[in-house]
Amino acid sequence: VAPTTPVCDVPSSAMTGTVVQLSCKETEGSPPSEYQWYKNGVALLEKTGTGRARTPNITYTMNKKSGTLLFNTVTKNDTGEYFCEASNGVGLSQKCSVKRMQV
């Protein structure tokens, strides 16, 4: 079953240095969807925070299975327009509407 349009939860504003979590979920897709977050139209890299290749300017953890995008300490650089895309290999992938987060 192809995914339906996911529901994105993006805070409209956040304080610098706080923990912020964005979430994305759709329930119709079978097999379960994987989620990809985008910022300003650019796909975010999946970073689990493990390994030595920690990129200094990546301040988030993205979980493709659960659809969460977690910022441990948001910075002004994280301000932007976010949306997520759900895909499971069946039918077309679905995107939620773009939401702006101001830090």
CATH code: domain of residue 24: 2.60.40.10
Task: Evaluate whether residue 1 is within a structural domain.
Answer: no
* Predicted local distance difference test score (pLDDT) of residue 47: 62
pTM of the model: 0.88
* Predicted local distance difference test score (pLDDT) of residue 92: 95
Task: Evaluate whether residue 41 is within a structural domain.
Answer: yes
* Predicted local distance difference test score (pLDDT) of residue 59: 76
Number of domains in the chain: 1
pLDDT in tens, 40-87: 999 998 765 555 555 566 778 999 999 999 999 999 999 999 999 999
Local confidence band at 31 (pLDDT 50, 70, 90 cut-offs): very high
What does the block give as tokens for 21?
Answer: 């979590």
Residue in 78, 83, 58 with CA at minimum distance from that of residue 15:
78
- Contact, 9 vs 67, CB < 8 A? no
* Predicted local distance difference test score (pLDDT) of residue 54: 54
Question: Cis bond leading into 6, ω under 30°?
Answer: no
Residues contacting 50, CB < 8 A, separation 6+: none
Q: Which domain holds residue 83?
A: 7-101
- Contact, 47 vs 72, CB < 8 A? no
Task: Evaluate whether residue 2 is within a structural domain.
Answer: no
Task: Evaluate whether residue 90 is within a structural domain.
Answer: yes
Task: Evaluate whether residue 28 is within a structural domain.
Answer: yes
What does the block give as tokens for 44?
Answer: 């975010």
- In whole angstroms, give the CA distance from residue 35 to residue 96: 11
